[in-house]
């Protein structure tokens, strides 16, 4: 038995077979293994450090009425990470990173725009411990497929800014994140 009984049939079936092969290769797999989820979440956590931000200029009222922020700024000043300068007696404060604190400044894209007068610093780095579970795939009415991934992570590095905020290295935290299936595979959106 011949697969293509005549030359005319070859011209019809060959493109159909090639299209079927290409369509199968270009479609993302609905399967998501624990190992794949672990690789993607580990990379996402490493790429997104925990951050802390503050305004460089504060009125006297803002500074005096926010006891938590005032304690944090004073503790960072005591560690030599910030310079807190009075703008004019009774009018307000100018807070800036000291040369020691500049080492923790984030100037690249951190997933949100940095506002004028805002200082953003790295407070900690997160690391994945394990994937706890992967939910079943769900398809919504628009045709998008997603599933929930639950995982455990810890702070692998805490900067002096993170210490003042009360972050503890090694302390485990549970979290979950949706995974959405795109044409190129599963994507996780970790904040």
3-state SS, one letter per residue, for the chain: CCCCCCHHHHHHHHHHHHHHHHHHHHCCCCCCCHHHHHHHHHHHHHHCCEEEEEECEEEHHHHHHCHHHHHHHHHHHHCCCEEEEEEECCCEEEEEECCCHHHHECCCCCCCCCCCCEEEEEEEEEEEEEEEEECCCEECCCCCEEEEEEEEEEEEEECHHHHHHCCCECCEEEEEEEEEEECCEEEECCC
Dihedral in degrees, nearest 10, Cα atoms 120, 123, 128, 129 = -160
91 vs 95, residue with greater confidence: 95
pLDDT band at 12, cuts 50/70/90? Answer: very low
Minimum mean pLDDT range among 25-34, 117-126, 172-181: 25-34
For residues 116-125, give the mean pLDDT. Answer: 87
pLDDT at 62: 80
Residue 96 to residues 54, 99, 115, 124, 132, Cα–Cα distance (Å): 9, 9, 15, 20, 41
- In this predicted structure, the answer to whether residue 130 has a pLDDT above a threshold of 90 is yes
pLDDT at 63: 77
For residues 139-162, give the mean pLDDT. Answer: 94
pLDDT, tens digit (0-9, with 9 covering 90-100), for 14-68: 443 333 333 344 445 678 999 999 999 999 999 889 999 888 888 878 877 888 8
pLDDT at 174: 96
pTM above 0.85, yes or no: no
Paired sense of beta strands 92-97 and 118-134, if any? unpaired
pLDDT at 69: 86
pLDDT at 6: 43
pLDDT at 90: 66
Check: CB of residue 171 under 8 Å from CB of residue 154.
yes
pLDDT band at 111, cuts 50/70/90? Answer: low
Minimum mean pLDDT range among 35-49, 69-83, 84-98, 170-184: 84-98
Mean pLDDT of the chain: 81
């Amino acid at each position: 038995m011949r697969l293509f009984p005549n030359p005319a049939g070859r011209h019809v079936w060959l493109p159909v077979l090639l299209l079927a092969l290409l369509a199968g290769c270009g479609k993302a797999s609905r399967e998501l293994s624990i190992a794949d989820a672990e690789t993607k979440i580990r990379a996402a956590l490493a790429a997104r450090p925990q951050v802390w931000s503050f305004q460089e200029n504060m009125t006297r009222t803002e500074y005096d009425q926010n006891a938590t922020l005032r304690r944090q700024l004073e503790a960072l000043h005591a560690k030599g990470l910030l310079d807190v300068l009075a703008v004019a007696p009774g009018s307000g404060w100018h807070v800036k990173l000291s040369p020691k604190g500049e080492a923790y400044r984030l100037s690249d894209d951190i997933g949100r725009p940095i506002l004028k007068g805002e200082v953003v610093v790295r407070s900690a780095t997160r690391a994945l411990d394990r994937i706890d579970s992967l939910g079943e795939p769900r398809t919504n009415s628009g045709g998008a497929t997603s599933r929930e991934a639950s995982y455990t992570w810890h702070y692998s590095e805490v900067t002096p800014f993170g210490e003042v905020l009360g972050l503890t290295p090694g302390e485990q935290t549970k979290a979950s994140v949706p995974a959405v299936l795109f044409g190129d595979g599963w994507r996780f959106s970790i904040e």
